[in-house]
Structure 1
Amino acid sequence: MLKQTLLIALFAGISYAGAQTKFQPQDTEFYEPVPPVVKTSRTAAPSDAIVLFDGSNLNEWVSEKDGKSPAAWTVQGQVLTVKPGTGGIVTKKNFEDFQLHVEWKSPEVIKGEGQGRGNSGIFLQGKYEIQVLDNDDNKTYTNGQAGSIYKQQPPLAEARKQEDGWHTYDILYTAPRFNSNGILIKRGMVTVIHNGVLVQYNSELQGTTEYIGLPKMVAHGAGPIAIQDHGDLVSFRNIWIRELK
Structure 2
Amino acid sequence: MKMKKTIINSILLTVPLVVFVLFVAMKAAKKEKVGVGVKASKKSEVLFDGSREMLDEKWTYWEGPRFSSELPLKWEIVKDPVDGGTVVNSNDPAAAGGKYGAADMVTKKKYRDFRLHVEFLVENEGGNSGVYLQNRYEIQILDGDKTKHGMGAVINESESPYQFYNGIGKWNAYDIKFRAARFENGELTERALVTAYFNGQKAHTNVKIQQVWGGVNSGLDGGREVTDTPGGIKLQAEGHDVLYRNIWIKELDLKEADTDF
Q: TM-score, normalised by structure 2?
A: 0.67
Aligned to 1:178: 183
Residues 122-149 of structure 1 deviation map (CA, whole Å, 9 limit, x = unaligned): 0100000000122xxx3x3611111101
**2:208 counterpart residue number:** 204
1:51-66 equivalences in 2 (<5 Å): 51-57=46-52, 58=55, 59-65=57-63
Partner of 1:10: none
Alpha-carbon separation, structure 2, partners of 1:163 and 1:133: 11
Correspondence 1:49 to 2:53: no
Counterpart of 1:240 in structure 2 is 248
Amino acid at match of 2:240: D
Q: Shift of residue 179 of structure 1?
A: 2.2
1:101 and 2:99 are equivalent in the alignment:
no
**In structure 2, C-alpha distance between the alignment counterparts of 1:49 and 1:119, rounded to whole Å:** 28
Shift of 1:157: 5.6
Alignment of 1:98-177 (within 5 A): 98-107=114-123, 109-110=124-125, 117-134=126-143, 138=144, 140=145, 142-156=147-161, 158-161=163-166, 165-177=170-182
> Residue 158 of structure 1: CA displacement?
2.5
| Structure 1 alignment gaps of length 5 or more | 1-39, 111-116
Higher helix fraction (1 or 2): 2
Describe the shift of the 1:172–1:118 C-alpha distance in structure 2 as closer, same or farther (beyond 3 A): same
Note the C-alpha offset of 1:209. Answer: 2.0
Question: For 1:17-96, what aligned pairs fall within 5 Å after superposition?
Answer: 44-57=39-52, 58=55, 59-65=57-63, 70-77=72-79, 78-86=86-94, 87-96=103-112
Q: Distance in 1 between matches of 2:188 and 2:104?
A: 28
- Give, in whole Å, the separation in 1 of the partners of 2:169 and 2:234: 25
Q: In structure 2, the residue corresponding to 1:76 is in which secondary structure?
A: strand
Q: CA deviation at 1:211?
A: 6.3
Deviation at 1:45, TM superposition (A): 1.4
Instruction: Give secondary structure in 2 for the equivalent of 1:158.
Output: helix
Unmatched tracts of structure 2, length 5 or more: 1-32, 80-85, 95-102, 217-221, 254-261
Which moved further from structure 2: 118-127 or 46-55?
Answer: 46-55
Distance across 1 between alignment mates of 2:168 and 2:199:
11
Q: CA RMSD in A?
A: 2.8
Distance 1:163 1:82 in 2: 15
Check whether the contact 1:96–1:125 (CA below 8 A) recurs between aligned residues: yes
Q: Does 1:192 align with 2:196?
A: yes
Partner Cα separation in structure 1 for residue 155 and residue 59 of structure 2: 23
The one-letter amino acid of 2:156's match is K
User: Is the 1:188–1:204 contact (alpha carbons within 8 Å) kept by the matching residues of 2?
Assistant: yes
Query: In 2, are the aligned partners of 1:61 and 1:70 still within 8 Å (CA)?
Result: no
Farther-moved stretch of structure 1 (231-240 vs 219-228): 219-228
Distance 1:47 1:70 in 2: 31
| Partner Cα distance (1:164, 1:228) in 2 | 19
Residues 224, 163 of structure 1: alpha-carbon distance in 2 compared, 3 angstrom cutoff = closer
Note if 1:230 corresponds to 2:238: yes
**Sequence identity of aligned pairs in percent?**
33
Q: CA offset at residue 210 of structure 1?
A: 2.6
Counterparts in 2 of 1:93 and 1:62: CA distance versus 1, 3 Å: same
Moved over 3 A (4+): 65-70
